[in-house]
């Protein structure tokens, strides 16, 4: 019997990807929780940046927006959006967490609209915000999302945020900085990366209780398989306790 839920699994799996001393640009919600958990466990010197200007805060309480005063608590700098984007452009940000309504096999994201008519879409979403800048300039982009074939689609209705574009070396040819790009896709079923040559999404780790076929069934395109697919370690007792008591004690995220 599981002692954790889907959201807890995703947050913990994402937190484990953040090394001590690395830099991560995050938004609110699950990415912020992952960064907080990493900072409170194995990465006390993780440098967190928020789009509105909070640089290297000590996160004690969960911020509810990127401009929340809590994103400046004991920060190295109460800066501006320009300061954060400048840090990304200078190549000093290792990780960023993004999301969207749709993602394709190359890690391109849609957070703009569903439908074919931009003037009259079926659904209108908030748009890019800083997502395009982060994905274009930060070294490694990670996405946290539920595994659902309605999200993992063959073709995006709109490309808001660049991933590996058309695969291969198309990202570099477009003029985006060499060495940047999608790194990990973390869902409630698995962890994916991108095959180095084709840049197609592939499964590298399966969460407890799920198989490759389970993941493929909830994906709208063919996934690649790593030569060795690892078993994602279950959330540890300490990780769950810190997540529940210190990161999200009110259950805003993990209570969903």
pLDDT by residue (tens digit) across 80-121?
Answer: 999 999 999 999 999 999 988 999 999 999 999 999 888 899
CB atoms within 10 A of CB 180: 22
> Which domains does the chain show, CATH number per domain?
6-247 (3.40.1080.10)
Q: Active-site residue among 8, 17, 51, 218?
A: 51
Q: Which residues of the chain have pLDDT under 50?
A: none
Q: Smallest Cα–Cα separation from 191: which of 139, 233, 138, 155? A: 233
Task: Taking each helix axis as running N to C, give the angle between helix 30-40 and helix 6-15, from 0 to 180 degrees, rounded to the nearest 10.
Answer: 60
The pLDDT score that the predictor gives to residue 11 is 97
The pLDDT tens digits of the residues spanning 207-231 come to 999 999 999 999 999 999 999 999 9
- The yes-or-no answer on residue 172 being catalytic is no
């Amino acid at each position: 019997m599981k002692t954790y839920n889907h959201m807890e699994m995703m947050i913990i799996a994402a937190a484990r990807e953040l090394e001590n001393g690395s830099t991560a640009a995050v938004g609110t919600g699950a990415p912020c929780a992952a960064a907080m958990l990493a900072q409170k466990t194995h990465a006390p010197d993780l440098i967190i940046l928020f789009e509105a200007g909070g640089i290297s805060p000590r996160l004690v309480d969960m911020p509810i927006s990127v401009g929340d005063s809590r994103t400046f608590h004991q920060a190295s700098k109460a800066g501006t959006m320009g300061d954060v984007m400048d840090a990304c452009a200078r190549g000093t940000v290792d990780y960023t967490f993004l999301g969207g309504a749709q993602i394709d096999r190359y890690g391109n994201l849609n957070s703009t609209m569903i439908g074919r008519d931009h003037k009259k879409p079926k659904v209108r979403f908030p748009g890019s915000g800083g997502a395009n800048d982060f994905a274009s300039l930060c070294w490694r982009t990670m996405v946290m999302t539920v595994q659902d074939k309605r999200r993992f689609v063959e073709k995006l209705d709109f490309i808001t945020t660049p991933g590996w574009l058309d695969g291969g070396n198309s990202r570099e040819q477009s003029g985006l900085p060499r060495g940047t790009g999608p790194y990990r896709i973390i869902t409630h079923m698995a962890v994916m990366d991108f095959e180095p040559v084709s840049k197609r999404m592939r499964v590298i780790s399966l969460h407890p209780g799920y198989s490759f076929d389970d993941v493929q069934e909830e994906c709208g395109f063919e996934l690649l398989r790593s030569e060795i697919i690892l078993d994602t370690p279950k959330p540890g007792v300490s990780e769950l306790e810190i997540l529940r008591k210190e990161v999200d004690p009110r259950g805003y995220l993990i209570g969903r």
